Amino acid sequence: MAGLTTTLAALNRYRRAVGAHDEATHLTEVTSFGDNPAGLRLFAFVPEALAPGAGLVVALHGCTETASELDVACGWSTLAARCGFAVLLPQQQARNNPAGCFNWFRAEEQRREGKEVTSVMAMVAFMVATHRLDPRRVFVTGLSAGGAMAAGLLALFPDRFAAGAILAGLPFAVARDMSEGVALMARGTDMSGEALAAAARRASAQQGRWPRIAIWHGSLDTVVAPGNADALARQFRGLHGLSAGPGDVSVGATARVETWRDRSGQALVVQSMVYGLGHAVPLSLMDLDPALRVGQAGPFAQEAGVAACWQSANFFGLARHARTPHPAWPWPFRHGAG
């Protein structure tokens, strides 16, 4: 508990030093959407005249952060307006967690019947039905605690998500309470890929395909140890039945990217370690291509020469762009396919 208190205090000091994001976004709150045992708030952005069958991105904020702040940091509503998909941003309530964290570390939230996961999945069902979205094109992403929760949703509901993007997150079902969660944040885990995968298989009893996953982490993250990115990659390689050995490695000026593919060449697990990045969303606000300048630097978003949220939308197959990404990015696949 002391470690978590210290971490949250440091995050709040940083927020005060750099200033919180302006929360004037395009998000709309929906107050009635179905079963909501956790009492979470639903914020969403749906572009005007969105075509039926569009995709949906579920984006989960980190501790001491709001849905609106995550949207500003990543630019998800901007990307949605440009590319034609909807965005769902659940928001935690202080009565569930005083620091505003999603409770990814609690054993009860590592079951399909967990209160918070039930609330999020009710939001997903509401958005798909209300806006006639394609249930096969639902994706989830998150930062920090939101990233850990996103990994949990991929593990618990692999039949409901096509892919995910985890930023500064943690593997599923390693911690079972707050003290174990703090230890995992600080040190990571040396569990094998098969043991990590087994935890997800037990939770969902999935017999079919598993979602693809893109993993982002900063090499200088002192809040969530970078080793957690390695564990996430091991967990999802195990779920996909991929080799435990190294993947295809690309090293560029901004990041080291390792990719594991299926026999057809599709990227199933992509792990990006961004050089010089702390506990933050990596941005590329100085890129010469204005289409890639999305998001806003702030408490949990940092210029790093890599547009992680645009790249994640590309991984999902949602980004439409006339040109390939900047050649300095060692990104191993074309738009969405791999």
- CA angle, residues 176, 166, 200, in degrees to nearest 5: 45
Secondary structure letter of residue 108 according to DSSP: G
Query: Which letter, b or e, does each residue of 194-209 get, where b requires 16 or more Cβ atoms within 10 Å of its Cβ?
Result: eebbbbbbebbebeee
The owner of tokens 């409770």 is 103
- CA 7 – CA 11 distance, rounded (Å): 6
Q: Which two tokens stand for residue 193?
A: 């890929």
Identify whether the C-beta of residue 44 lies closer than 8 Å to the C-beta of residue 73.
Answer: no
Among 68, 77, 119, 144, the active-site one is 144
The helix/strand/coil state of 325 is coil
CB atoms within 10 A of CB 221: 21
Is 219 labeled as catalytic in the residue annotation? Answer: no
Active site residues: 144
